[in-house]
Amino acid sequence: MSQVTVEDVTRFKSEHRVVELVDALHGDYSVGNAAVEALGELCDPSSVVPLVDAMADDEWSVRYRAQEALERIGTSAVGELMELLHSKHPDRRANAAQALGETGDTTGKASLTELLNDEHAHVRSKAVEALGRMADPQLFELFVKALADESDEVRSEAAHALGRAGDGRAVEPLIGRLIDPGARIGAASSLGILGDTRAIEPLLDNIRHEEHGLNRAAIVALGKLGASEAVEPLAALLPELELKDAELVADTLQALGQPEYQADPRITAAKTKDIKERYADGERWFGERNLVSIDLSGLGLAGAIFRESDLSRAILKGTALGTAKFNEANLTGADLSRATLQMAEFRGANLAGADLSWTTITTADLEGADLSNANLTSASLFRSNLHGVTLTGANVSMADFGGVTLPDGSTYEAGMDLSRFGAVGQPARL
């Protein structure tokens, strides 16, 4: 199979040649991944067995794509997967159980329940995981029983399953497992999901636990529980922590209504350093991140993508951000003064109270953005799209609005009064 190329795989798919695609599963990195993806798109039940086997492949991406392909095949794969639950090979039984759980089909509940008595712990754990995805209240007692399994792996999955099931009866058994080395991380995570305040004190007792995974799970769970009583002990813990843990605590404190801890100099400096280094290495995606109060002033970050990131109170003064994308990002109170943002995108972004004075933001797309109370003094917005933008309280004094598409879809002309949009001041007469 070493001679098979990605182009061959594409041809096999177009000709529906399942046998050749199955043979290509264990080709090199690119060929194997392409073959698994093609099999998933074809949704042929005859590919179920080799896809289950591929879930044990040495290459993680092949394992991942095999699972994804089985999810795409969906209910068409259920019959084959149920047969594989009785395979003489434990890896096949385990992988089939996992894949069956991913389909969301409940037909195999009885067969999966039988696997809870399998001699192999890995098979039992995958059966618990699959059953946990069914969110069936009738399985509650089975999960509680699995919490006492001799295998750490099984007890861990049982703890997670009880969280996914959402049954309040699980709170006390899970609290009891916070001292169990095999199940305590899963127990802490599930207690956060269940939302019962009885878990707050036991979780607080574990925020300084020597097991790193447990103290992190406890901290996250306290944030999910909205535990206001955790603010003081978490704030006291912050100076003692390594950076990654400090970031987690700051994120949790923000979730508990205390965003000021995001401005910790160590955290903001480390995030700035991380972005600079990753950008220098060619990375451009910085989306969906917590970047509150970060200082990126004066940097060259053209083409960077900050979609849906939280950049509230960030400092981007004088930063070169041409063609950067801030769609749906939070930039409330951010300082973008004197930044260069030609052809940047801010669709749906929140720029309320942001400082955009003397900013070059020409031919940019700000459709649907919130610029209420923003400072646009002397900013150049030449030919930018402001359709649907909120300008209430925005200061547009001496700004260049030449050719700008206004909130109502009209085009700005010299002398227009923008107070009808709630703006303050008048643009420059050009």
Residues 40 and 81 in one domain: yes
Question: Do the domain assignments include residue 86?
Answer: yes
Residues 271 and 196 in one domain: no
The torsion angles phi and psi of 180, rounded to 5 degrees, stand at: -95, 110
**pTM score of the predicted model:** 0.68
Q: Is the pLDDT of residue 1 over 60?
A: no
Residues 320 and 247 in one domain: no
Question: Which H or E element spans position 123?
Answer: helix 121-132
- Name the residue among 153, 156, 168 with its Cα closest to residue 121: 153
Residues 203 and 307 in one domain: no
Residues 63 and 212 in one domain: yes
Residues 113 and 257 in one domain: yes
The torsion angles phi and psi of 300, rounded to 5 degrees, stand at: -100, 105
Q: 87-94, long-range: CB within 8 Å, 24+ apart, which pairs?
A: 90/118, 90/120, 90/122, 90/123, 91/56, 91/122, 92/52, 92/53, 93/118, 93/120, 93/123, 93/126, 94/120, 94/122, 94/123, 94/125, 94/126
Which positions ≥6 away from 126 have C-beta within 8 Å? 93, 94, 95, 97, 98, 101, 115, 157
State the average pLDDT over residues 15-42.
Answer: 86
CA atoms within 13 A on the CB side of 421: 26
pLDDT digits (tens, 9 = 90+) for 246-270: 889 998 998 999 988 888 888 888 8
Residues 147 and 88 in one domain: yes
Question: Do the domain assignments include residue 188?
Answer: yes
Residues 172 and 304 in one domain: no
Give the range of the structural domain holding residue 317, as residue numbers without chain letter. Answer: 264-430
Mean pLDDT of all residues in the chain? Answer: 92
Question: Do the domain assignments include residue 1?
Answer: no
Q: How many domains does the chain divide into?
A: 2
pLDDT digits (tens, 9 = 90+) for 192-229: 999 999 999 999 999 999 999 999 999 999 999 999 99
Question: Do the domain assignments include residue 235?
Answer: yes
Give the CATH number for residue 116: 1.25.10.10
Residue at a domain's end among 209, 234, 262: 262
Residue at a domain's end among 230, 262, 294: 262
How many angstroms separate the CA atoms of 411 and 280, rounded?
Answer: 39
**Cα–Cα–Cα angle for 359, 363, 365, rounded to 5 degrees:** 90
Residues 235 and 273 in one domain: no
Q: Is the pLDDT of residue 166 over 70?
A: yes
Of the given ranges (57-66, 247-256, 269-278, 346-355), which has the lowest mean pLDDT?
57-66
Residues 224 and 79 in one domain: yes
Residues 327 and 210 in one domain: no
Residues 281 and 424 in one domain: yes
Residue at a domain's end among 239, 262, 285: 262
